[in-house]
Amino acid sequence: MTAKNDSSVKDYIASLDDEQIVKDSHVLIAMMQRISGHEPKMWNAGTIGFNTYHYKYDSGREGDGHIIGFYPRKGKITVYLMDGTVRHSGLLAKLGKHTTTGYCVYIKRLSDIELPILEQIVQQSYEYIKSKSQDGHIDRILWQTEK
């Protein structure tokens, strides 16, 4: 999964050399902060995450992950949906130009998509993960099991 680090989100965004990615990152930070009610935190090398949940699998593996987040890098932004993209296929069909994998939505720039649709998707994903983690840890990789 992911590991939180103590790097500054502001410094990380300032270090990006793609002006459009910087602007889009500020929009996503504002959106995800509004949805989660939490300040952004750095995870791994370049993921900006909001709020946390605890997971503990039958295998014994456990840790913490961000509930919603994104990874801005040159040429694309990855938005993470920890409950998986399949649950959001109806809205994703209306999103605009993007690609997906199991729990990732890849966007070149926010101007390629319908931002209100992305906000709905992220809001639903956030609420779902929060509901699943409300009574303790999450015991399975949701994006592999939830449809």
| Amino acid (one-letter) located at 49 | G
Length of the chain: 147
User: Sign (positive/negative) of CA torsion 13, 15, 17, 19?
Assistant: positive
CB of 140 closer than 8 Å to CB of 147? no
Q: For 44-68, how does the pLDDT look when each residue is reduced to its tens digit (9 = 90+)?
A: 889 999 998 877 777 777 788 889 9
Residue 134: predicted pLDDT: 65
Tokens 């919603």 label which residue? Answer: 68
Q: For 77-90, how does the pLDDT look when each residue is reduced to its tens digit (9 = 90+)?
A: 999 998 889 999 99
